[in-house]
Amino acid sequence: MENKRKGKFIVIEGLDGSGKGTQAALLAQAMRADGRTVCQTAEPTSSVTGGMLRDALGGHVKRDAYELSALFLLDRIFHNVNEKNGIRKYLDDGVDVICDRYYYSSFAYQGIDADLSWVMNMNLNCKEILKPDVCIFLDVSPDTGDKRINGSRLEREIYENTETQKRIRARFYEVFGLLKTRENIKIVDASRTVPEVSADIIKIYNELKEK
């Protein structure tokens, strides 16, 4: 459902190792300096369902792509409707929300193994799941993402290998093509330096706030 609320809803997407966390923090800093109140959040969330997802992503519990899709959906609905600190509550209060991953990740990650239209329909047709004002996709090659993961972590999650990341990147592009008439998607070359990427993201935010 369209976001007609007071706050802006910005999603940052990308492959593993694309720098989403760093860039989300820099964007939040810039927006706060601009006088906005900002909530930085992420999926999977820290809910009980989010914990189940982390177990599966870490490879500790085996789940198939349909189970994962359903769990991400449940986590996302909770993320939207949770009355204490859900996305909808923040936006209604005039707080801008920056979310690290959202339904685009379900389409690209679960969509490589589960039926893509099934995953898309259950997310896009759920009225509790708000449509972001913009999705900023941080584009890196799977090799670049892989090197960045190597430098920052010891353990790898189930999707974190170059072959799978290649398939996921292709799915992201396919999905962006399918969504281009209904969603505001901006692709940013994230292989550049942190300040260069950040400058582009802040420009996108500045354009959005004029709307």
Strand ranges inside 3-115, DSSP E: 9-14, 38-42, 96-100
Instruction: Give the nearest residue (CB) to ligand TMP.
Output: 109
Nearest to 191 by CA among 25, 17, 30: 17
Query: Smallest gap, in angstroms, from Cβ of residue 207 to ligand TMP?
Result: 25
Query: Smallest gap, in angstroms, from Cβ of residue 29 to ligand TMP?
Result: 19
Q: Which residues bind to ligand TMP, rule: CB under 6 A?
A: 16, 42-44, 57, 72, 100-101, 105-106, 109-110, 157, 159
Q: Which is nearer to ligand TMP, 93 or 115 (CB)?
A: 115
Q: Which is nearer to ligand TMP, 58 or 94 (CB)?
A: 58
Query: Smallest gap, in angstroms, from Cβ of residue 139 to ligand TMP?
Result: 15
For residues 110 and 178, the answer to whether their CB atoms sit within 8 Å is: no
CB neighbour burial string for 136-154, b if at least 16 within 10 angstroms, e if fewer: bbbbbbbebbbebbeeeee
DSSP code string of 156-177: --TT-SHHHHHHHHHHHHHHHH
Q: Which is nearer to ligand TMP, 67 or 157 (CB)?
A: 157
Query: Smallest gap, in angstroms, from Cβ of residue 100 to ligand TMP?
Result: 6
In degrees to the nearest 10, what's the CA dihedral of 189, 186, 17, 96? 130
Q: Which is nearer to ligand TMP, 36 or 166 (CB)?
A: 166
